[in-house]
Amino acid sequence: CRVRHYKFHVVSKQTNRLCSSKSIVTINGKFPGPTLYAREDDTVLVKVINQVNHNVTIHWHGVRQLRTGWADGPAYVTQCPIQPGQTYLYNFTLTGQRGTLLYHAHVNWLRSTLHGALVILPKRGVPYPFPKPDDELVVVLGEWWKSDTEAIINEALKSGLAPNVSDAHTINGLPGAVTNCSTQDVYNLPVESGKTYLLRIINAALNEELFFKIAGHKLTVVEVDATYVKPFKIETILIAPGQTTNVLLNADQKFGKYLVAASPFMDAPIAVDNLTATATLHYTGTLAATPTILTTPPPKNSTQIANNFISSLRGLNSKKYPVNVPLTVDHSLFFTVGLGISPCPSCKAANGSRVVAAINNVTFIMPTIALLQAHYFNIKGVFTTDFPANPPHLFNYSGPGPANLNTETGTKVYRVPFNATVQVVLQDTGIIAPENHPVHLHGFNFFVVGRGVGNFNPKIDPKNFNLVDPVERNTIGVPAGGWTAFRFRADNPGVWFMHCHLEVHTTWGLKMAFLVDNGKGPKQSVIPPPKDLPKC
Ligand code: C2O
C-alpha cells in the first residue's frame, strides 16, 4: 500500500449556469471537485487550505475511519471548522474498503458546490468480482441554485419556512439542455461501440433522491456505497444523496446519441421540484447533428420503480466478500425520524413557530466544541448520553401525527460499548408530512435487514428480516410513511454522526450521534488528535 498526497485549495470561483453567474466555493476551482484516486488499504493525506471567507470541513463519506475520527469531518462532531486562512491535514487509511465514495464539505450548506468523487481501486492484482470493464467514468449528480445556497438556508431559518427548491439538477456539473439558458451546458459521456464501461454514479445533490437512466441501455448494478452486490440488470436506478452506485454499461449499439436522465423521486405529497438533468451518451463516430434518442424520466412519485431497484439489492456474499451481518443484537433501537414544530417568536411568516426535524422527538442542537474533542478530553457540559432508545410516546407513526407537534431540543448521544451489535429501526413519521429520509451513519457500514410500509411491527416484521445476504451500505432511504431496519457492529471507537442526508433536514435537526467507547476511556481507544486540529 501507498501513501497518497493531495492538496485541496478551497477557493471561490465565479460560475455561470442557467444564464446567471454566482461565486461558488470549490476545491481547486473545480465543480464538481477533482476525483481522488487511491487503492484499498492506502493511506490518504489531504491537505486542505482554506482560502475562502467561510468555515470549511471535509467529510469522506463512507470511509470507515477506524479509530481516526479526527479525519471524519463533520463540523462540531469530530472537529471544529477550518477557519479562513487556516489549513488542516486529513489523514486516514482505507482499511478493507474499495469502490466509489464521495467527499463533501460538512458545514452549513457548502457541500452544494464543494464535493467530488473518491475512487478506491482494489488492491493491485485483485480483480473486480465482475467482468473487467474496458474503461471507467465518474458521474456526479448534483443540484444547482441560481442564488447563494448559504443565503437560501439562512433566509429559511429566519422565516421558519422551508427553503427554496433548486433551479436545476446537474450531471457532472451541467444541467443539460433543459432550458433555453443551458443549451450548451450538456455533459457528453463518450463511449465506443462494443466496449463495457463502469459508471461510478454519485448523488451529491443536497435535497433530492434521484432516478438515473440511459435511453436504449440497461444498467448492471455491481456495487453500492463501496460494497459489492449480486449483479442485476435494471433500466432505472434510484440514488439518494450520499449514496453511490456502480453500474456496468454495455455500449452495445453501433452509433448514436442517447439521453441520460437524472430526475427527482419523492413519494410524498410535498412540494419538490420536478427538474430533470440530462446528459448525452455519445458513441464515437456519431455525427454531431444526429438527433438524440430520448427516454422519459419516471414521474417523481414512481414508488414502484423505486421499490424495484431497492428490493433487487443483495450483498454479494461470496467466499471472498462474505456478508457479516450480526446474527444477535445487543442494543435494539427504535428511532422515529420526521418533522416537527418548534416555537419561534420572531418567525412571523410561520405564525411564531418554525419547522424542525427530529429523531425520537429530539431536535439535535449542534455544540460549539466538537463532540469527539469533548469526549476525548473529558470536557463536561457539551453533550449528554441520554439519547432515547425509543420514542417518548406511542402514536400512529405513519398516520397523521400526535396533537402536540413540538419537539424537544438537546445535544444527546447514544452510548454503545465497543463491539456491541446494534439494530436500528428507522420509522418515518407523518408529522407535518411523511417523507423519504436517506439516513447516513458515519464510521460504519450497516446491513439493511428489512424495510416496509406503515408502522413497524416488532412482533412480526423481524421474522422476515434478511440475515443471509442483506446489502451493506452507509446511507439508506427510509420510505415515506414506512420503516427500514439495519444492523452494525460497534467496532469503531469514537463519536459518529447519524443524520438525514437531505441537507435541509440535517439543518432542521434530524441528526444524533453514537458514542462508542471501549470501557477503558477514549485515550485508549481513539488515536490522539493531530497537532493541527482546528481550534474551536
Ligand atoms: Cu455525507 Cu454526515 O455526511
* SS3 track for 150-215: HHHHHHHHHHCCCCCCCCEEEECCECCCCCHHHCCCCEEEEECCCCEEEEEEEECCCCCEEEEEEC
CA of 402 to the centre of ligand 1 (A): 30
Closest atom of ligand 1 to 499 CA is: 2
* Residue 442 and residue 70 in contact, taking contact as beta carbons nearer than 8 Å: no
Asked if residue 499 has its Cβ within 6 Å of ligand 1, the reply is: yes
Closest atom of ligand 1 to 61 CA is: 1
Of the listed ranges 10-19, 37-46, 67-76, 393-402, the one predicted with least confidence: 393-402
CATH code for 130-315? 2.60.40.420
Distance, CA of 270 to CA of 364 (rounded, Å): 23
Work out the angle at residue 374's Cα, subtended by the Cα atoms of residues 368 and 380, and round it to the nearest 5 degrees: 95
* pLDDT at res. 367: 98
Asked if residue 242 has its Cβ within 6 Å of ligand 1, the reply is: yes
* pLDDT at res. 520: 76
Give, using CA atoms, the residue closest to atom 3 of ligand 1. Answer: 61
* pLDDT at res. 269: 66
CATH code for 331-525? 2.60.40.420
* pLDDT at res. 271: 61
CA of 437 to the centre of ligand 1 (A): 13
For residues 57-92, one letter each, b for 16 or more C-beta atoms within 10 angstroms of the residue's C-beta and e for the rest, the string is bbbbbbbbbbbbbbbbbbbbbbbbbbeeeebbebbb
Closest atom of ligand 1 to 506 CA is: 2
Distance, CA of 174 to CA of 142 (rounded, Å): 9
Asked if residue 111 has its Cβ within 6 Å of ligand 1, the reply is: no
* pLDDT at res. 404: 87
CA of 253 to the centre of ligand 1 (A): 38
Q: Is the pLDDT of residue 215 over 80?
A: yes
Asked if residue 106 has its Cβ within 6 Å of ligand 1, the reply is: yes
Asked if residue 496 has its Cβ within 6 Å of ligand 1, the reply is: no
Segment 38-78, tens digit of pLDDT: 999 999 999 999 999 999 999 999 999 999 999 999 999 99
Asked if residue 74 has its Cβ within 6 Å of ligand 1, the reply is: yes
Peptide bond before 32: cis, by omega within 30 degrees of 0?
A: yes
Q: Is the pLDDT of residue 170 over 90?
A: yes
Segment 272-299, tens digit of pLDDT: 677 899 999 999 999 989 999 999 999 9
Closest atom of ligand 1 to 475 CA is: 1
What Å distances lie between residue 384 and 3, 75, 132, 408, 493, CA to CA?
38, 18, 50, 14, 17
CA of 242 to the centre of ligand 1 (A): 7
Closest atom of ligand 1 to 62 CA is: 1
CA of 109 to the centre of ligand 1 (A): 11
Q: Is the pLDDT of residue 187 over 90?
A: yes
Domain 1-125 maps to which CATH number in 2.60.320.10, 3.40.50.20, 2.60.40.420, 3.90.1170.50? 2.60.40.420
Segment 122-138, tens digit of pLDDT: 999 999 999 999 999 99
Segment 421-445, tens digit of pLDDT: 999 999 999 998 899 999 999 999 9
Average pLDDT of span 2-22: 97
Residues of the chain with CATH 2.60.40.420: 1-125, 130-315, 331-525
CA dihedral sign of residues 287, 290, 295, 297 = positive
Asked if residue 59 has its Cβ within 6 Å of ligand 1, the reply is: yes
* pLDDT at res. 274: 73
* pLDDT at res. 403: 85
* pLDDT at res. 74: 98
Distance, CA of 457 to CA of 396 (rounded, Å): 12
CA of 61 to the centre of ligand 1 (A): 6
